[in-house]
Structure 1
């Protein structure tokens, strides 16, 4: 198994890009710089961020300075990693970013014993910035030593105008009057006497940042990740904070995000803005745009091989030597050099037989993994494919099901990337035959391997099928019942022993393919026999286990409709939701299920679970307060 987290290990020769970024930052010589690392979901932006930090750390070491990440005492870089997605729903992203940066500088100043007073002043100004953004109730404000909300309300409007660049003289005068009121309640967020106005305070905040960095003699490198995962409001809030600190001396911002998603958020926020202005907004933030390189067949093959090597029993130094050799070879592929099994054996001539078999599979799968629309050379999707294969092989061993790994890999690839209707026909052929062999594939595979043209009808008429048929091993004469048995969480495996009626099978297929349309077949479900409804819920819950976020996924609609048709199934669904990991539960699920009679037990369990997030518990409390959910 492989984790789905970012890594500081370079499996794709991205190190060359990281070195380029580090070189740009280093050659800026304290001049402000902003770098955008763009690319689609899962292509390796987060890993690129890790590699950039590692390269800058290595350069600090090479200059005779210790690793700032470990000691933080003498390095010329201070790193701040900020993930706006983690703050979404808990804090204002703009204030959070400024707070995180200021706190990091204060910590570093204490370690280095320089710039301490400057960073204290900076923190005070950040407190002021937070104060004008607070929107909590007056009681909460007073508890924090802040003035009543009537006063903060005056500053709120002005603060919002400042950040949008719409402040006039009348607004500034209003802010000055409000500041006179605030001083008695707050007790002096900033002790030094000076004239208060939002523009002056924001400029002073910027000057404090610059002064602290100048006195400490360091470059602040802010690494921002997962911005494209955020809701538009959080995205814009973070971009505003970046704009507030951007282009200050001794700063470098590295922003990893899908630029198309960012532009979508900007367009959503500034409704009616033309595309050209949206592009200009983003381009003004980014001085140096860098795109994560797309993967070709060579890179995909190398990536898969290195993943298998990582999980092998080879010695750590041998794994590292192979990784370095592969990345070096990837840098020469433009010269016609190849990364394949032959090349790996030239680096290490005593590879274990089990590893060789997996490397050979990677060699054969790479072209399809690169071109298939369901994967398209995406590193995260490749890793998930290999994890799914690993899980199914583990299931086959645990249940004593004899499954050939290469056959299972080919079936899994078809399941993920092929036409769903064609996959359903494959399942039907296997389950209806006495020997479990999809014999109709035999002539197609023979012609594909021979290089002959294939004239296939829908749903088999696409380029992926032709490539898939050529991929070894040939499956037409293989018993695939075991492979489909361990794959049954994706699609129903209806065996002769577990046969549904034609009506039930039709409903199950509809629920799996169009779960959001489940309500339209509720009456037909009620008419089914109870054992058939139980089988349908089995299949739906199997599919539901693949969901990573429980807000309002479409599969929940299907499960709720089945639960409404049979009280026993409602208990099963309630039990299933209680078992979901706490981090997967999102506030939007609360109103979705609140009117269901079984939801009360789910809410009670979540309310008592310490790991369930505060927004979810607040949503439950709000429903109870409105009388939608009974209070126990």
Structure 2
């Protein structure tokens, strides 16, 4: 195998290299915290998913890293999701980091012991799921602890009620240790004592300010997000503390509505979700979306940085040039290409293609991604990966980067019906041309020119005048017109090579006839999950074998086009119902479809549920061989689920 040049890959992880001029937001927060002395503070860094919140938090951490009187602790709620109660994870994580960073195990043994014991009480409140205690609704008293221990012991014979026997034994040990104090605890007293113990620990740590950076709350499930915010309340108003929370406001508001589902439908209650966040966050800072000019500057810096290296002296000069341009984005001027050439000298020829690509795709990329940096990076990654695969397959000059980029912009950001028509129309023609697109790209043609072209066409079916309904519809869509006017013009090019490149998402070059309206309606139902699929029973039994084949092929394409296999895909229910309605001849197809699924991505759902579908002995034998392969090469979750299945019973 020959290995060519490295494939471009733009990481969407947080970075200390500021390409978005968001450092201004970070500097403002740093000055705000530095100028408030002991005053407690909670600051929100808000923005859409992928807007750059994590990078802002990274810059804040970097700004304080050299100040020994300030300690920054980073907490990622998403990484802790599912491992433990989120409230306890936040509280214990902050305390543990503080102890570790200031060597307090040696210098403040009593204070450390005291704060850890307070945390044990908070853990006890959540340890047993059957007892509804939380840090804010109640902490068990001594009498209640005795009752809990007795209850847990009585359930040891059936550990499933307590998740695991080990969990039950740990619960008894924890509660028994807490009983050694013998004193009675109340909720206000315990919370106040925890806050006092934490304040004492801060004094021993000899720091002027503790800054906690909480990130990725908008990736968490609603319960985890709310519990993390509730944990912050334990620390709010403690002197010398500052919390900086990076989160998408809309996602947090959704989490609040999910947490309080019984709120009445009224104007006042609808604002409760926002009020909840505003009550906790004293200073909200929002990262704005990129405009068209900012997107072009960002894309230019991304592409050039990926080729020259972000640490190169030339790129650092370009970065400064980009920041200067970002100071006046309202003027609509990107980075001056002549200045780029002056900085790079002879190297400018190496990046001329990147400058052209940036100029071509930035306008529609800004609109399509709504100025979201992460979406921009993902588009550029997908573009370069497809170009690399095309080159390795030997497609050569048949694929141009600018044409592929324009097609991908339509594929990802235009209304699906528009791209479907362009792709399907081009695929059906011998010349690979979509005539409607060719006309649309010409822009403002005179009616006389349009009429002349129409008269020259002897085929009425090819009459593509302005009265063509598809063309008329496209002309009412500003995003379609804006995309069509982007260079290069592709309407007179054969799109077939490019449709082959993008067939990883859908193969438009297949010769299969489109589904009838009846089958399209069935496809929609069968793709809608268990209940919808089971409701199709009578309709499925009346299908002809040709209809079953067409429908099964459509379901297969839809299933394989998904990347979500950790939980049971809705389409699987439809495939199963269709095969059960027509078992003869299609059971093997069911097994073949299972064989096509990515074994490393399959969740535990795949371990069971096949016995009613696959009953033919030959098909069952092949299914069993597949399951044996899953036992060896499957994901951890799938192999764990299969362990519970006796050999030979994996299809049940």
Q: TM-score, normalised by structure 1?
A: 0.79
Whether 2:198 is the aligned partner of 1:225: answer no
Partner of residue 204 from structure 1, selected from 190, 193, 196: 193
For residues 317 and 104 of structure 2, the distance between their equivalents in structure 1, rounded to whole angstroms, comes to 37
TM-superposed deviation, 1:531: 7.9
For residues 489 and 558 of structure 1, the distance between their equivalents in structure 2, rounded to whole angstroms, comes to 23
Partner of residue 62 from structure 2, selected from 54, 66, 77: 54
* Structure-2 residue corresponding to 1:105: 98
The 3-state SS of whatever aligns with 1:252 is strand
* Structure-2 residue corresponding to 1:305: 300
* Structure-2 residue corresponding to 1:15: 23
Report 1:18-97 matches (<5 A).
Answer: 18-57=26-65, 61=66, 65=67, 75-97=68-90
The 3-state SS of whatever aligns with 2:295 is helix
On the 8 A contact 1:109/1:216 being kept in 2, the answer is yes
* Structure-2 residue corresponding to 1:569: 589
Structure 2, unpaired ranges of 5+: 1-8, 150-171, 264-268, 451-465, 615-619
Whether 2:476 is the aligned partner of 1:461: answer yes
Taking structure 1 as reference, are residues 24 and 418 closer, same or farther at Cα in structure 2, changes over 3 Å only? same
For residues 592 and 48 of structure 1, the distance between their equivalents in structure 2, rounded to whole angstroms, comes to 47
Taking structure 1 as reference, are residues 78 and 601 closer, same or farther at Cα in structure 2, changes over 3 Å only? farther
Whether 2:367 is the aligned partner of 1:371: answer yes
For residues 230 and 611 of structure 2, the distance between their equivalents in structure 1, rounded to whole angstroms, comes to 36
The 3-state SS of whatever aligns with 1:457 is helix
TM-superposed deviation, 1:578: 5.0
On the 8 A contact 1:537/1:569 being kept in 2, the answer is no
Partner of residue 561 from structure 2, selected from 522, 540, 543: 543
Partner of residue 238 from structure 1, selected from 205, 228, 231: 228
Taking structure 1 as reference, are residues 611 and 53 closer, same or farther at Cα in structure 2, changes over 3 Å only? farther
On the 8 A contact 1:35/1:288 being kept in 2, the answer is yes
On the 8 A contact 1:124/1:190 being kept in 2, the answer is no
For residues 540 and 380 of structure 1, the distance between their equivalents in structure 2, rounded to whole angstroms, comes to 26
* Structure-2 residue corresponding to 1:499: 511
On the 8 A contact 2:609/2:651 being kept in 1, the answer is no
1:475-500 C-alpha deviation (Å, 9 max, x unpaired): 12212111110111223323xxx522
Report 1:262-341 matches (<5 A).
Answer: 262-273=252-263, 274-313=269-308, 316-334=312-330, 338-341=334-337
For residues 347 and 578 of structure 2, the distance between their equivalents in structure 1, rounded to whole angstroms, comes to 52
* Residues 235-244 or 405-414, more deviating: 235-244
For residues 483 and 208 of structure 1, the distance between their equivalents in structure 2, rounded to whole angstroms, comes to 65
Q: How many residues align?
A: 574
For residues 305 and 522 of structure 2, the distance between their equivalents in structure 1, rounded to whole angstroms, comes to 41
1:481-522 C-alpha deviation (Å, 9 max, x unpaired): 11110111223323xxx5224548995898599943884585
TM-superposed deviation, 1:302: 1.3
Partner of residue 438 from structure 1, selected from 429, 434, 440: 434
Partner of residue 132 from structure 1, selected from 125, 130, 134: 125
For residues 256 and 522 of structure 1, the distance between their equivalents in structure 2, rounded to whole angstroms, comes to 50
On the 8 A contact 2:297/2:334 being kept in 1, the answer is no
For residues 542 and 312 of structure 2, the distance between their equivalents in structure 1, rounded to whole angstroms, comes to 59
* Structure-2 residue corresponding to 1:144: none
* Residues 601-610 or 295-304, more deviating: 601-610
TM-superposed deviation, 1:298: 1.6
TM-superposed deviation, 1:192: 6.9
For residues 555 and 399 of structure 1, the distance between their equivalents in structure 2, rounded to whole angstroms, comes to 32
1:76-133 C-alpha deviation (Å, 9 max, x unpaired): 2323222222232321111111111121122123279544432232122212211221
On the 8 A contact 2:523/2:551 being kept in 1, the answer is no
TM-superposed deviation, 1:556: 4.8
For residues 188 and 642 of structure 2, the distance between their equivalents in structure 1, rounded to whole angstroms, comes to 41
1:221-257 C-alpha deviation (Å, 9 max, x unpaired): 2111121222222222111111122221221111111
1:443-500 C-alpha deviation (Å, 9 max, x unpaired): 3222259999988323563111211121111112212111110111223323xxx522
* Structure-2 residue corresponding to 1:387: 381
* Structure-2 residue corresponding to 1:416: 412
For residues 57 and 544 of structure 2, the distance between their equivalents in structure 1, rounded to whole angstroms, comes to 53
* Structure-2 residue corresponding to 1:71: none
Partner of residue 178 from structure 1, selected from 128, 144, 147: 144
On the 8 A contact 1:442/1:475 being kept in 2, the answer is yes
For residues 525 and 336 of structure 2, the distance between their equivalents in structure 1, rounded to whole angstroms, comes to 39
Partner of residue 496 from structure 2, selected from 475, 481, 504: 481
1:314-372 C-alpha deviation (Å, 9 max, x unpaired): 57232233223312331233466533534433443344434221222111221111223
For residues 127 and 289 of structure 1, the distance between their equivalents in structure 2, rounded to whole angstroms, comes to 33
On the 8 A contact 1:106/1:116 being kept in 2, the answer is no
Question: Which entry has the higher C-alpha Rg, 1 or 2?
Answer: 2
TM-superposed deviation, 1:413: 0.6
TM-superposed deviation, 1:609: 6.8
Taking structure 1 as reference, are residues 499 and 578 closer, same or farther at Cα in structure 2, changes over 3 Å only? closer
Taking structure 1 as reference, are residues 184 and 472 closer, same or farther at Cα in structure 2, changes over 3 Å only? closer
* Structure-2 residue corresponding to 1:357: 353
* Structure-2 residue corresponding to 1:516: 528
On the 8 A contact 1:525/1:533 being kept in 2, the answer is no
* Residues 548-557 or 90-99, more deviating: 548-557
The 3-state SS of whatever aligns with 1:311 is helix
For residues 326 and 382 of structure 2, the distance between their equivalents in structure 1, rounded to whole angstroms, comes to 27
On the 8 A contact 1:43/1:379 being kept in 2, the answer is yes
1:44-101 C-alpha deviation (Å, 9 max, x unpaired): 22222212212222xxx3xxx4xxxxxxxxx223232222222323211111111111
